[in-house]
Chain A
Amino acid sequence: MINTNNLTKQYGEHVALDQLNLNIQQGEIYCLLGANGAGKTTTINLLLGFVQPTSGSAFINQLNVQENPKATKQFLAYIPENLMLYPNLTALENLDYFSGIAGKKLSQSALKEFLEESGLQSEAINRRISTFSKGMRQKVGIAIALAKDAKVLLLDEPTSGLDPKASNEFGLLLQNLRKKSVATLMATHDLFRAKEIGTHIGIMKDGRLKQEFVVEDISLNQLEDVYLDTMNYKEVTV
């Protein structure tokens, strides 16, 4: 579902992403780990078509992102690190608006179902977003993905700033989406959540994908060791 082929992005001399080859299938949750500036957000921006690659290409649902910017967006949903919605509109109205401009006309009851499915308390459905916490806003984000019937979900640091309970709930939601055979790419710093939620893990450094694992093959401790190893931090933290 999500494929990249030698995807490279340079900003002048600086190589932000170097020949990335990703292959994420339906029902997979791929967690990209790495320090700030490792190239995680660049990858997501390239998959969204916000940024043009220097070379290589990105595919969503077998469609080249650069060639079909609008068509590929039909299949994907994206939740930015700090998801902001329209504060003066209610959760329901925000969902209606975003799915509406994406071309999905849905009844009020259908919209409500999506919100409930994403775990939003029913009393919050008709409240304005300005009163929402980050966790609640992300639930609306998931509802937007659900309503859109997205095949691909791109997440940028979804669990940063969430309390453990909300973080846990979010993980459960992703599992739910996984059952609907959504392919998810999630950029994160959170090793623990990656191990918990993900099916696959990739570690990036300086724009390169250094390591890839299947989650079942590795324990959390091993993951941490490998991660720190990759970051060359091991010596420092003796």
Chain B
Amino acid sequence: MLSYNFKYELKMLLRSRWIQLLSIILVLLFGFATYNGSQKVEKRKKDIAAAQKEVKDDDVKMLKLLDSVERGLEVSASSWTIPTSPMAVGNYHPRVAAMEPQPLAFLATGQADLFTHYVKPKVSGDDFALNFTEMTSPVQLLFGSFDLAFVFVYLLPLLIIAFSYNILSSEKESGSLRLLAAQPIGLRLWLLQKMGLRFFWLAVIVVLALTIAFLAIGMNPFGQFQSFVGLLGLILAYMLFWFAIAFLVNLMVGSSAKNAVALLGLWVVFVLLVPSVLNQLGNTLYPMPSRTLMINEMRILKAEATKKQDEILDNFLRDHPEYAINDSTQRRGFYHRYMASQKLLKEELGPVVNTYEEQIQRQQDWIGALKWISPAIIIQESLNKMAGTSTQDYESYRKQVVAFAGEWREHFMPFLYNNVEFSQEDYPNLPNFNYVHQSQDQLLSISFALLISLGLFGLGIMISQNWKEVGILNQG
């Protein structure tokens, strides 16, 4: 039966122009989405490169200036910007802490439109006040991006639904089902084969269309072979899930229209409702403390710190006797007090800032525990992770930047408290930021989606064990 189904299913799909139509739609969708994604990545790379170049150019000027000062020449810059002052270097010559895009970043915009990809932490200012959000029109954030993840997660299931909602019901409605049922075959197996064949052909089209789209924008899909295979595995598992749903709905046959409505309802549930309800529940169960109230708290602490600046500095120096010993001048200025207060503030605000991270971690755990309810979530998250644009990636970036900001600040502390001038020789020792991407394995997600799909197929077969063929075979 399989060979005949195979031969004629293809013939019928070709003659009804389904395959041609699907191929064109998919190539167009993938093409447009890949183009959009790669444009965003290009812009991101360009912005980072521009920022790096600016720092480089700026460094040349700084070194020249240092050279002039060291040779005792008159310089025209404002006194407090002259880089012999360590605080001037720390504030006016910050390094770029950039998050370079991952090779597959064009796959999913994820949180990339929300967060910035490079910041320049300075010695003054607060870590938590570092603005990690990007300057974007919120309308764009609201509408989201037409990226490959959108095509996979939202549109592909709809194509599958359109492709498979009436496999059994159309036979019933046209009347050919009775003729089929009079043949010595199992209808369940026949449906499974039909489904399988449609899955097979759609999979072939998806793989080809994706390869074409990648090649068209100058990406070599085989250069990143492992990731490409991982991506395909993910998409195929998700497609299989939707075919399994379609199989179930087909088995519980109503009319074609009823099937379409039921499948569409399921699409709304899995793709739109479950994620938003989970998100809302997560927010309700683990609410983010108010940022506005955090500002209040921070302001009060700061006001107190400013009043006690001298005391704070004394305490600080008592904790760090090395500074008092090495410095012969014992000169104390604004920055000595400021940095000591900042350090204290950071320690005091630490728990407040941590609550945000803890809370978002709890929300993340909550989603992690319940995401299996909707494979759409699993796939979106996995794609974001592949693209390196997931919430976790940005959080990891944020942590790395904050750590780097600390390193940057600490680097200048000995200069400041020892009242040592910054010189050309110190330039090569300036710390640099390197973003480390924590790669995540997609195998778990793929096997998860596969497991759900197989479970659904199993369920379908179990249900159809006591299939009331009466309902299927009698017209009406």
A and B together in one complex: yes
By a beta-carbon cutoff of 8 Å, the part of chain A in contact with chain B is 45, 48, 50-51, 70-74, 76-80, 82-89, 93, 96-98, 100-103, 128, 141, 144, 154
Given A45-B473, A89-B8, A93-B8, are A103 and B175 neighbors across the interface (CB < 8 Å)? no
B176 touches which one: A72, A84, A93 (CB < 8 A)? A84
Which residues of chain A come closer than 8 Å to B473, judged between CB atoms? 45, 50-51
Contact B4 A77 (CB under 8 A): no
Chain B 1-20 near chain A by CB (<8 Å), digits 1 or 0 = 10111011001100110000
Chosen A-B contacts, 16 in total, with CB atoms closer than 8 Å, are A45-B474, A50-B181, A50-B470, A73-B183, A86-B12, A89-B15, A98-B180, A100-B1, A100-B4, A101-B1, A101-B180, A102-B184, A102-B185, A103-B1, A128-B15, A141-B179
Contact A93 B470 (CB under 8 A): no
Q: A88-B16, A96-B4 are in contact. Are A73 and B182 (CB under 8 A)?
A: yes
Q: Contacts A96-B4, A100-B4, A101-B4 given; indicate if A84 touches B184 (C-beta within 8 A).
A: no
A195 to chain B: closest CB distance in Å? 27
Q: Are A76 and B182 in contact (CB under 8 A)?
A: yes
CA of A59 to CA of B15, assembled, Å: 40
Q: Is the interface of B mostly helix, strand, loop or mixed?
A: helix
Flag whether B178 is at the interface (Cβ < 8 A).
Answer: yes
Q: Which residue of B lies closest to A141 (CB)?
A: B179
A70 to B184, CA, bound (A): 4
The answer to whether B184 touches A73, judged by C-beta atoms less than 8 angstroms apart, is: yes
Contact B15 A88 (CB under 8 A): yes
Inter-chain CA distance A97–B185, complex, in Å, is 13
- State whether the Cβ of B32 lies closer than 8 Å to any Cβ in chain A: no
Interface majority SS on A: helix, strand, loop or mixed?
mixed
| Chain A, residue nearest B3 (CB) | A100
- Alpha-carbon distance between A18 and B469 when the two chains are bound, in angstroms: 21
Asked if A78 and B1 make an inter-chain contact with CB atoms under 8 angstroms apart, the answer reads: no
**Cβ of B186 under 8 Å from chain A:** yes
Alpha-carbon separation in the docked complex, A192 to B179 (Å): 27
Chain B residues near A76: list those with CB within 8 A.
182
Measured between C-beta atoms, what is the minimum distance from B8 to chain A in Å? 5
Q: Does B174 contact A (CB under 8 A)?
A: yes
Q: Please, how many angstroms separate the alpha-carbon atoms of A86 and B190 in the complex?
A: 15
Q: Complex formed: what's the CA distance from A48 to B174 in Å?
A: 19
Partner of A101, one of B15, B16, B190, B474: B190
Interface residues on B, range: 20 to 34
Asked if A102 and B178 sit within 8 Å, CB to CB, the answer is no
Which residue of B has the minimal Cβ distance to A71? B184
Interface centre among B3, B16, B178, B185, by most chain A C-beta atoms within 10 angstroms, is B178
Please, how many angstroms separate the alpha-carbon atoms of A86 and B8 in the complex? 10
A50: chain B residues at CB < 8 Å are: 178, 181, 469-470, 473-474
- A70-B186, A100-B3 given as contacts; is B175 within 8 A of A48 (CB)? no
In the complex, besides A73-B182, A103-B1, 8 extra interface pairs with C-beta distance below 8 angstroms are A50-B473, A77-B182, A84-B176, A87-B174, A88-B12, A98-B179, A100-B1, A101-B185
Separation of A45 and B182 alpha carbons in the complex (Å): 10
Q: Could you say which residues of chain A place their CB within 8 Å of the CB of B178?
A: 50, 78, 80
CB distance from A93 to the nearest CB of B (A): 7
Nearest CB of chain B from residue A4's CB, rounded to whole Å: 17
Residues of chain A contacted by B175 (CB below 8 angstroms): 80, 82-84
CB distance from A63 to the nearest CB of B (A): 12
Contact A70 B179 (CB under 8 A): no
For the complex, give the distance between the alpha carbons of A140 and B174 in Å: 16
Known A78-B178, A80-B175; contact A70-B11, beta-carbon cutoff 8 A: no
Q: In the assembled complex, how far is the CB of residue B16 from the closest CB belonging to chain A, in whole angstroms?
A: 6
CA distance A21 to B99 in the complex (A): 83
Collect the chain B residues with CB atoms within 8 Å of residue A88's CB: 11-12, 15-16
Tell me the nearest residue of chain B to A41, going by C-beta.
B474
In B78-114, the 8 Å CB interface with A consists of none
Closest A residue to B14 by beta carbon equals A88
Chain B residues with CB under 8 A of A45: 473-474
Query: Which chain B residue has the least Cβ–Cβ distance from A73?
Result: B184
Which residues in window 337-359 of B have CB below 8 A to A? none
> A residues within 8 A CB of B11?
88-89, 93
| Distance in angstroms between the alpha carbons of A85 and B311 in the assembled complex | 94
List residues of B (134-188) whose CB comes within 8 Å of A's CBs: 174-176, 178-186
